A and B are shown apart, each in its own frame.
Chain A
Amino acid sequence: MTFLVYVAVSIGIGLVCRPIMRSKGRSAGTGFWLGFFLGVVGLVVAVLLRPTREFEAVKLRKRRATMGDVPSHAAVSERERAATPSEIPDAAAGPALSFSNVSMVFPDGTHALRETTFSVSPGEFVTVVGPSGCGKSTLLRIASGLNPATGGSVSVDRSSLGYVFQDATLLPWRSVLRNVEMMAELEGVPRDERLERTLDAIDLVGLNGAEFKYPKQLSGGMKMRASLARSLVLNPKVFLFDEPFGAVDEITRERLNDEVIKLFQLEGFAGLFITHSISEAVFLSTRVLVMSARPGHIVADFPIPFPYPRDPELRFDPEFAELCGQISHELRGVHA
């Protein structure tokens, strides 16, 4: 839109120049084009001299620092929520995401899902494990509306949906700051509020200090953090994770798992997480669903009893190992 405004302004300047040039004895056409050209050059210069988003961010950071610790609205609400971590928002309002008898057949005849029924309530973190190619990712694509299901019904509030893809899918021409900002930008959040929320999200995922870097300068783990932050800016009620940490190393993955748990406690979203790692599934979730091979459907539902916040040492708890064993057993049954 702004682009069209620029063109309109240039044409305007051109029109103004017409009578001026004519009064100096030159042709009106020359005057118009001269004015148009001047207008375009002027606007290009103005666009180039406009303060960058990065500059605005630095200014905001400074202002926040000098105002003492006066937190923004988002930070206040986060702090309130952090004070009562076990609060489950509006459980009575029904599930945030529910699938009933959803099936999916792709146009090429691949039968990806069959009669899948489950639901995720606010404050629940549900993880789906299953053999590779069983339609786990399809589940998320249906939930988000990227692909419509061919049968059954899905109910979910898509107005503030978080979605983390397998790859970070950052836009390489944008700095971390502008990447994190992007979802809110597409959603039409006003500029100033967007910047506040963006900085909050960046702080939350621990990318403070890397805001101005470009994706090519980031490690795999940092890219995933930026990708997480990008969805967080929307304050999502439903958060979908599509095997987000499959490509990062074990140590980074464990640290990112801790981050996800922290975010889950702070934000209280309904989480739906896809993974092929059983221990990751048990560590993160309140429930683990096991899917069968294609055409996939839910074959088992394990509630995970451990309280939050979860300690990394939990992974070496005998009870934890026992649960992992049961899920693994179930998965082997599926393969057979």
Chain B
Amino acid sequence: MIYSPLSVTPPEVAIELVGPTPKRKSGKLELSRFIGPPIVFIIFIGVWQYMHEHGMRALFDKPGFLLPSPVTVFNECFVDGFTRSKLLNGVKWTAVVALLGLAITIVIGMLLAVVMAQARWAERSFYPYLVALQAIPILSIVPLISSVFGGGFQPRLFVCVMIAFFPIVTNTLFGLQSADAGQHDLFTLRGASAWTRLWKLQVPAALPAVFTGFRISAGLSVIGAVVGEQFFRKGNKPGIGIVMESYRQKNNYPQVYGGLFLAAGLGIVFFLVFGWLSRRVVGHWYEASGKPA
């Protein structure tokens, strides 16, 4: 994920907020959209197959079954009904954790950002701890989390929220502060209250940045959910991380790779959904800078 934990203004905020432009005029570009990705996909599959047959032996001196071939992965995971339902069930629970975690993150994170935007001192007071939160190696506090929550559902949510928190707060804060001085003057002229100013000026002005934060955090929350599952495997809600881990212990490598693809797919779906939502909500008025006219 691309975001810089040390600056208040994430660089990608200004550059690419509402995803790829829906309509491009050049026919050449249009063609490259349909031809480019499949070509890269074919190359990717080719390299993978090569690594399976010769690469693992030649480069790392390891047997090829550690990296099963693409066809094997596909057959074992998605053609075989039992494995498929097990994996999909895992993805379902991961999605539940990630969505719940994201919802909690959005509510807490945005409230915190609103508080921080109200006064300079509030921002100064909270910001160092946000950076600290971001800097904590999640894996090393897992034992501490488990000593409080035990295993199961809640600690997974906790890890998820911790990982997804920072981009939401920084992007919302950046957005709330992005209304320009002239627009603020307008509200000052008519003696608008802080509440009116927040609701009618700062929040709408923040929306494009807020959606960027959503997209980044949506991807991170999936990662957080899977990481959480790798450590908190108790309970009757086995997410994809738990399923993958149990397959790995049995040396069922194709299933592990299949789970990996599903987890990545879930992250991509989240990312796309929020990209689409952001285009729906702010696309009709927001001009992404740096976009060719």
Chain B contact residues: over half helix, strand or loop, or mixed?
A: helix
Contact partner of B286 among A145, A146, A172, CB < 8 A? Answer: A172
A251 located at the interface, meaning its Cβ lies under 8 Å from any Cβ of chain B in the complex: no
Of A25-33, A79-87, A162-170, the one with at least 4 CB within 8 A of chain B: A162-170
A144 within 8 Å of B (CB atoms): yes
Residue B73 interfacial (CB < 8 Å) = no
Q: Which residue from A146, A186, A216 sits with its C-beta under 8 Å from B185?
A: A146
Among B188, B196, B201, B284, the residue within 8 A (CB) of A171 is B201
Please report the C-alpha to C-alpha distance between residue A145 and residue B185 in the assembled complex, in whole angstroms. Answer: 10
Which of B183, B284, B285 is in CB contact (< 8 Å) with A169? B183
B182 interface residue, CB < 8 Å from A? yes
By a CB distance below 8 angstroms, the chain A residues around B187 are 186
For residues 207 through 223 of chain B, which have their beta carbon under 8 Å from a beta carbon of chain A? 207
Contact A3 B201 (CB under 8 A): no
Which of A163, A172, A182, A187 sits near B285, CB closer than 8 Å? A172
Q: Say whether B149 faces chain A, with CB atoms less than 8 Å apart.
A: no
User: Is the CB–CB distance between A144 and B183 below 8 Å?
Assistant: no
CB distance from B107 to the nearest CB of A (A): 12
Q: Do B287 and A187 have beta carbons less than 8 Å apart?
A: no
Nearest residue (CB) in A for B188 is: A146
Cα A174 to Cα B187 with chains together (Å): 15
A173 within 8 A of B: yes
A171→B196 CA distance, assembly (Å): 14
Which residues of B (122-170) have their CB < 8 Å from a CB of A?
none
Rounded to whole angstroms, the CA-CA distance of A144 and B204 in the bound complex is: 26
Shortest C-beta distance, A194 to chain B (Å), equals 13
Interface centre among A163, A183, A185, A186 (most CB of B within 10 A): A186
Q: Are B186 and A173 in contact (CB under 8 A)?
A: no
Residues in chain B near residue A183, CB distance under 8 A: 186, 190
Task: State whether the Cβ of B260 lies closer than 8 Å to any Cβ in chain A.
Answer: no
Which residues of chain A have C-beta atoms less than 8 A from B182's C-beta? 165-167, 169
| CA A205 to CA B187, docked complex, whole Å | 23
Query: Taking A3-B199, A214-B285 as contacts, is the C-beta distance between A169 and B180 under 8 angstroms?
Result: yes
Contact flags A151-186 to B (C-beta < 8 A → 1, else 0):
000000000010101110101111000000011011
A14 to chain B: which residues have CB within 8 Å? Answer: none
Closest to A2 in B: B199
A215 interfacial contact with B, CB 8 Å: yes
Query: How many angstroms from the CA of A313 to the CA of B158 in the assembled complex?
Result: 74
- B207 x A173 contact (CB < 8 A): yes
Q: A172-B286, A173-B204 are in contact. Are A186 and B180 (CB under 8 A)?
A: no
Measured CA separation A187–B196 after assembly (Å): 11
Q: How far is the CA of A144 from the CA of B190 in the complex (A)?
A: 10
**Could you mark each residue 191-224 of chain A with 1 if its beta carbon is under 8 Å from any beta carbon of chain B, else 0?**
0000000000000000000000011100000000
Q: Is the CB of B287 within 8 A of A172?
A: yes
Choice from B190, B282, B285, B286 contacting A186 with Cβ under 8 Å: B190
A144 to B205, CA, bound (A): 25
Q: Which residues of B contact A146 (CB under 8 A)?
A: 185, 188-189
Question: What is the minimal beta-carbon distance from B187 to any residue of chain A, in angstroms?
Answer: 7
Whether the pair B190, A165 counts as a contact (CB closer than 8 A) is no
Q: Does B111 contact A (CB under 8 A)?
A: no
- What's the minimum C-beta distance from B118 to chain A, rounded to whole angstroms? 17
Name B173-209 residues within 8 Å CB distance of A. Answer: 180, 182-183, 185-192, 195-196, 199-201, 204-205, 207
Report the minimal beta-carbon distance from B68 to chain A, rounded to whole angstroms: 43
Chain B positions near chain A (C-beta within 8 angstroms): 180, 182-183, 185-192, 195-196, 199-201, 204-205, 207, 282, 284-287
19 additional A-B residue pairs with CB within 8 Å, beyond A1-B195, A169-B186: A145-B189, A146-B185, A146-B189, A166-B182, A167-B182, A169-B185, A171-B183, A173-B204, A173-B205, A173-B207, A173-B285, A183-B186, A183-B190, A186-B192, A186-B196, A186-B200, A214-B285, A216-B286, A216-B287
Q: Can you report 22 residue pairs joining A to B where beta carbons are below 8 Å apart?
A: A1-B195, A146-B188, A146-B189, A161-B189, A163-B189, A165-B185, A165-B186, A166-B182, A167-B182, A171-B201, A171-B204, A171-B205, A172-B285, A172-B286, A172-B287, A173-B204, A173-B207, A174-B285, A182-B200, A183-B190, A214-B285, A215-B285
